[in-house]
């Protein structure tokens, strides 16, 4: 199983120079991005039908960012060359796209005079840029006012919006997490250790870099261009068990992997962790695009710590996928029993009515033991691995959509948090008995949540975890919270109801 870069986007240095010149012409405002207006003006001179140009844009802008960078522009120009040559833009025909030479422009209008106007620094030239601006202007003030970052999630930075999609691997020790990453990369990453005993004792972020090296956690957490600054809240004990492994690799240009320590089973082992393990898992889960739970067919017991880890994934159920790894170590009949036992165990831990997708296979570089699994098992493994590969390939394509989805979820959570905090503030007495009133509110937090839900007609499922909220609230003086600020709430409502839809409209496929 391997992710290969296709022919589209590949070209010689001479071709790339030509494409760069055309990109400079098409980029009328000099912001380094071809947006909808730029595209409609430039590609109209290719003399293709609107339907063909619609296909060109849809294939080139696979991440649905709403713009084309130089790499995506090259893909678009190769597609234009194919369409001009009479090739139908289907998946089969696109396999030969890299062999097509750049076609001469149909007229010298392709090299019309370029405007000297530059895009202002504050201009919005992509969906992500728009979300950054909306966050800074509309959502962040609400979060700061009602301390959303202390109770629910740290404040976002630009690096959180710009980060590559992340995939986190979770499982008990020796379930093949590190081997799984090695299998996808077709090589070991710096600092990787594989063995039958617990070998990965730290959180390792495997990401793209100019050379192979390992960076300590204290260093990586303070780099402004990386989305890990929020991990400083877990203290030096965690940062000493955190590192970043960088290496140049085409897959890592698209996806970042998070390798985690094996979940332990003994109570003594659990208490020896010097940091909030489940808290760190929850932090990464909120930022990941996919969470893979790996199981070994010989170790299906779900320890108490693993149950706590899975419980910390609450709110991220749509990201969870289950991988039954090393499945070739059991015969087909036993595999079916193992599969049933795994589904039964997960059904009691994952608090969702839907069953998570389970992939069955042996994700390593060794050939499948056909004597154990038989021809049916081998075919099953190949199909399952292809399905998982397709799921991983889709992650970069869906990254922008997930950013929007997570942003909207965060905005709704911030609104509910503001309602809760202002309600608790209103319930406090003006003068005497503040300490008793605060303790009463903390003790009866479920009832207070119910009041907020009824008063503002909010869905119960969107409210935060009561126990966690109670624990954090006990360290604050409720009397110091702000009263409800309707203008801030209205600004977020307008953002959700009008500005985000308008942003998506402006950066949709310009030929739709």
DSSP 32-71: S-B-HHHHHHHHGGG---HHHHHHHHHHH-TT--SSB-HH
Cα(117)–Cα(43) distance, rounded to whole angstroms? 20
CA distance 436 to 428: 10
Superfamily of domain 158-366: P-loop containing nucleotide triphosphate hydrolases (3.40.50.300)
| Strand pairing category for 290-295 and 166-171 | parallel
| pLDDT band of 359, cuts 50, 70, 90 | confident
Residue 282 above 60 pLDDT?
Answer: yes
**Does residue 460 carry a pLDDT above 50?**
yes
> What are the residues whose beta carbons fall under 8 Å from the beta carbon of 333, sequence distance 6 or more?
none
**Is the model more confident about 89 or about 498?**
498
For residue 20, report the phi and psi dihedrals to the nearest 5 degrees: -65, -35
* Top-confidence range, 83-97, 253-267, 377-391, 478-492: 478-492
Q: Cβ neighbours of residue 8 under 8 Å, at least 6 residues apart?
A: 59, 75, 78, 79, 94, 97, 98
Name which of 60-64, 284-288, 450-454, 499-503 the model is least confident about: 60-64
Model confidence at 167, pLDDT cuts 50, 70, 90, reads very high
Mode of pairing for the β-strands spanning 213-216 and 242-247 = antiparallel
The region of weakest confidence among 254-263, 336-345, 376-385 is 376-385
Band (pLDDT 50/70/90 cuts) for residue 257 is: very high
Task: Tokens 């290969």: give the residue.
Answer: 4
- 509/197: higher pLDDT: 509
For residues 205 and 195, give the distance between their C-alpha atoms in angstroms, rounded to a whole number: 19
| 286-333 pLDDT tens trace | 888 899 988 888 777 777 888 888 888 877 888 888 888 877 777 777
User: Whole-number mean pLDDT of the chain?
Assistant: 80
Q: Please compute the mean of the pLDDT values over residues 218-243 and round it to a whole number.
A: 88
Question: Model confidence at 162, in pLDDT bands (50, 70, 90)?
Answer: confident
The lowest-confidence range among 15-24, 102-111, 164-173 is 102-111
Mean pLDDT of all residues in 336-341: 81
CATH topology of domain 13-106: Recoverin; domain 1 (1.10.238)
Cα separation, 243 vs 291, whole angstroms: 19
Q: Which of 50-54, 130-134, 359-363 has the highest mean pLDDT?
A: 130-134
264 versus 182: the higher-pLDDT residue is: 182
Measure the CA–CA gap between 180 and 386, rounded to whole angstroms: 14
Average pLDDT over residues 20-35: 79
390 has pLDDT over 90: no
pLDDT beyond 90 at 140:
yes
Query: What CATH number does domain 128-150+406-506 carry, 3.40.50.740, 3.90.1150.10, 1.10.287.1080, 1.10.268.20?
Result: 1.10.268.20
pLDDT at 6: 47
What tokens appear for 247 in the block? 């290496």
Q: Give residue 368's pLDDT.
A: 67
Domain boundaries, the chain: 13-106, 128-150+406-506, 158-366
Q: In the predicted model, what is the mean pLDDT of residues 66-88?
A: 79
Where does the pLDDT of residue 145 fall: very low under 50, low under 70, confident under 90, or very high at 90 and above? very high
- pLDDT of 113: 40
Residue 116 per-residue DSSP state: -
Q: Name the H helices within 226-303.
A: 235-239, 267-271, 277-287
Higher pLDDT, 499 or 381: 499
């Amino acid at each position: 199983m391997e992710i290969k870069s296709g022919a589209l986007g590949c070209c010689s240095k001479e071709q790339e120079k030509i494409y760069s010149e055309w990109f400079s012409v098409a980029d009328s405002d000099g912001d380094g991005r071809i947006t909808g207006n730029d595209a409609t003006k430039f590609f109209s001179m290719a003399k293709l039908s609107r339907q063909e140009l619609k296909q060109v844009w849809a294939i080139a802008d696979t991440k649905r960012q709403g713009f084309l960078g130089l790499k995506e522009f090259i893909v678009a120009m190769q597609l234009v060359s194919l369409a001009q040559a009479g090739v139908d833009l289907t998946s089969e025909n696109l396999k030969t796209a890299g062999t097509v030479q750049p076609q001469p422009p149909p007229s010298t209008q392709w090299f019309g005079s370029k405007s000297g106007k530059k895009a202002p620094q504050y201009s919005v030239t992509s969906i992500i840029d728009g979300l950054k601006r909306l966050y800074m202007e509309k959502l962040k003030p609400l979060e700061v006012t009602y301390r959303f970052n202390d109770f629910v999630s740290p404040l976002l930075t630009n690096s959180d919006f710009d980060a590559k999609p992340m995939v986190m691997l979770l499982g008990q020790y020796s379930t093949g997490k590190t081997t799984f990453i090695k299998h996808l990369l077709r090589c070991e990453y710096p600092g990787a250790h594989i063995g039958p005993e617990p070998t990965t004792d730290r959180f390792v972020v495997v990401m793209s870099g100019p050379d192979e090296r390992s960076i300590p956690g204290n260093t990586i957490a303070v780099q402004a261009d990386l989305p890990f600054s929020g991990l400083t809240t877990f203290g030096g004990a965690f940062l000493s068990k955190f590192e970043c492994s960088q290496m140049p690799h085409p897959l890592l240009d698209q996806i970042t992997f998070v390798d985690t320590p094996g979940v332990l089973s003994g109570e003594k082992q659990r208490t020896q962790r010097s940091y909030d393990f489940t808290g760190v898992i929850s932090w990464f889960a909120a930022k990941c695009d996919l969470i893979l739970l790996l199981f070994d067919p010989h170790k299906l017991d779900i320890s108490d710590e693993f149950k706590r880890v899975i419980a910390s994934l609450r709110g991220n159920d749509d990201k969870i996928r289950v991988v039954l790894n090393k499945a070739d170590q059991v015969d087909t009949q036993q595999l079916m029993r193992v599969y049933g036992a795994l589904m039964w165990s997960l059904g009691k831990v994952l608090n969702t009515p839907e069953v998570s997708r389970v992939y069955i296979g042996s994700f390593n570089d060794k050939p499948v033991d056909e004597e154990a699994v038989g021809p049916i098992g081998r075919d099953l493994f190949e199909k399952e691995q292809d399905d998982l590969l397709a799921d991983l390939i889709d992650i970069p394509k869906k990254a922008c959509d997930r950013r929007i989805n997570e942003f909207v979820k965060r905005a709704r959570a911030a609104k509910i948090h503001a309602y809760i905090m202002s309600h608790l503030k209103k319930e406090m007495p003006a003068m005497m008995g503040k300490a008793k009133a605060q303790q009463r509110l903390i003790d009866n937090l479920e009832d207070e949540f119910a009041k907020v839900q009824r008063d503002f007609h909010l869905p119960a499922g969107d409210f935060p975890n009561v126990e966690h909220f109670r624990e954090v609230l006990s360290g604050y003086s409720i009397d110091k919270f702000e009263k409800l600020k309707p203008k801030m709430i209205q600004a977020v409502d307008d953002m959700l109801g009008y500005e985000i839809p308008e942003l998506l409209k402006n950066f949709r496929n310009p030929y739709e």
